[in-house]
Amino acid sequence: MSLPTAPPSGFRDFLPEQVSARQRVMETIARVYRSFGFQPLATSAVEDLQVLTGQGGGENEKLIFKLLKRGEALDRAVADKTDLADLGLRFDLTLPLARWYSKHGSQLAHPFKSFHMGPVWRAERAQKGRYREFTQCDIDIIGSQSWGAEAEIIGAILAVFEQCGLHGVKVHLNDRGLVDAALAAAGAAADKRAAACVSIDKLDKIGRDAVLAELIALLGQDPADALAKSLLGSAASASPALAEISAAVKILAPSAEIVIDPSLMRGMGYYTGPVFEFRHASLSGSLGGGGRYDGLTERFAGQRTPACGGSIGFERLMLILEETGQGGEHPALDAVVTVFSDELRGRSIEVGAALRAKGLIVDVFPGSGKLKAQFRYADQKKAAYVVVIGPDEAARGVLQVKTLATGDERAMTLADAIVTISA
Amino acid sequence: MSLPTAPPSGFRDFLPEQVSARQRVMETIARVYRSFGFQPLATSAVEDLQVLTGQGGGENEKLIFKLLKRGEALDRAVADKTDLADLGLRFDLTLPLARWYSKHGSQLAHPFKSFHMGPVWRAERAQKGRYREFTQCDIDIIGSQSWGAEAEIIGAILAVFEQCGLHGVKVHLNDRGLVDAALAAAGAAADKRAAACVSIDKLDKIGRDAVLAELIALLGQDPADALAKSLLGSAASASPALAEISAAVKILAPSAEIVIDPSLMRGMGYYTGPVFEFRHASLSGSLGGGGRYDGLTERFAGQRTPACGGSIGFERLMLILEETGQGGEHPALDAVVTVFSDELRGRSIEVGAALRAKGLIVDVFPGSGKLKAQFRYADQKKAAYVVVIGPDEAARGVLQVKTLATGDERAMTLADAIVTISA
% of residues, chain A, pLDDT over 70? 95
User: Interface pTM (ipTM) of the complex?
Assistant: 0.89
On the CB side of B280, CA atoms within 13 Å amount to: 20
CA distance B200 to chain A (A): 31
Q: List the one residue out of B294, B269, B249, B27 whose CA is nearest residue B137.
A: B27
Contacts of A422 in chain B (CB under 8 A): none
Taken in order of first residue, the domains within chain B and their CATH numbers are 16-43+100-323 (3.30.930.10), 335-422 (3.40.50.800)
pLDDT at A419: 96
CA distance B308 to chain A (A): 11
**Tens digit of each residue's pLDDT (9 = 90 or more) over A134-162:** 999 999 999 999 999 999 999 999 999 99
Q: Which residues contact B315 (CB under 8 A, 6 or more apart)?
A: B129, B131, B134, B135
Average pLDDT score, chain A: 90
Query: What average pLDDT does the segment A306-323 reach?
Result: 93
**Tens digit of each residue's pLDDT (9 = 90 or more) over B150-201:** 999 999 999 999 999 999 999 999 998 888 888 888 888 888 888 888 888 8
* pLDDT classification of A329: cutoffs 50, 70, 90: low
Task: Please state, as a whole number, how many other Cβ atoms lie within 10 Å of the Cβ of residue B38.
Answer: 25
Among the ranges given (A62-66, A234-238, B188-192), the one the predictor scored with the smallest mean pLDDT: A234-238
Task: Please state, as a whole number, how many other Cβ atoms lie within 10 Å of the Cβ of residue A164.
Answer: 22
Q: Which residue in B has a C-alpha nearest to residue A363's C-alpha?
A: B37
- One-letter amino acid for residue B168 of the chain: G
Whether pLDDT at B145 is above 60: yes
B16/A8 touch (CB, cutoff 8 Å), yes or no: no
B6/A103 touch (CB, cutoff 8 Å), yes or no: yes
Contacts of A339 in chain B (CB under 8 A): 146, 148
Distance from the Cα of residue A125 to its chain's centroid: 20
pLDDT at A309: 96
pLDDT at B330: 62
Whether pLDDT at A376 is above 70: yes
pLDDT at B325: 73
Query: What average pLDDT does the segment A244-264 reach?
Result: 91
d(CA A310, CA A297): 16
Whether pLDDT at A344 is above 80: yes
Whether pLDDT at A101 is above 90: yes
Contacts of B65 in chain A (CB under 8 A): 46, 67-68, 87
Instruction: Measure CB to CB from residue A50 to each of B4, B78, B353 and give the nearest one.
Output: B4
- pTM for the model stands at 0.90
% of residues, chain B, pLDDT over 90? 68
pLDDT at A208: 87
Q: Which residues contact B275 (CB under 8 A, 6 or more apart)?
A: B173, B174, B175, B176, B264, B265, B266, B289, B290, B291, B292
Whether pLDDT at A219 is above 80: yes
Instruction: Report the residue of B35, B340, B341 to disrupt the A interface, i.e. the one with the largest count of A CBs within 10 Å.
Output: B35
A299/B2 touch (CB, cutoff 8 Å), yes or no: yes
Higher pLDDT, B331 or B121: B121
pLDDT at B19: 95
pLDDT at A328: 57
pLDDT at B193: 83
Q: List the one residue out of A205, A227, A207 whose CA is nearest residue A216.
A: A227
Whether pLDDT at B402 is above 60: yes
Whether pLDDT at B291 is above 80: yes
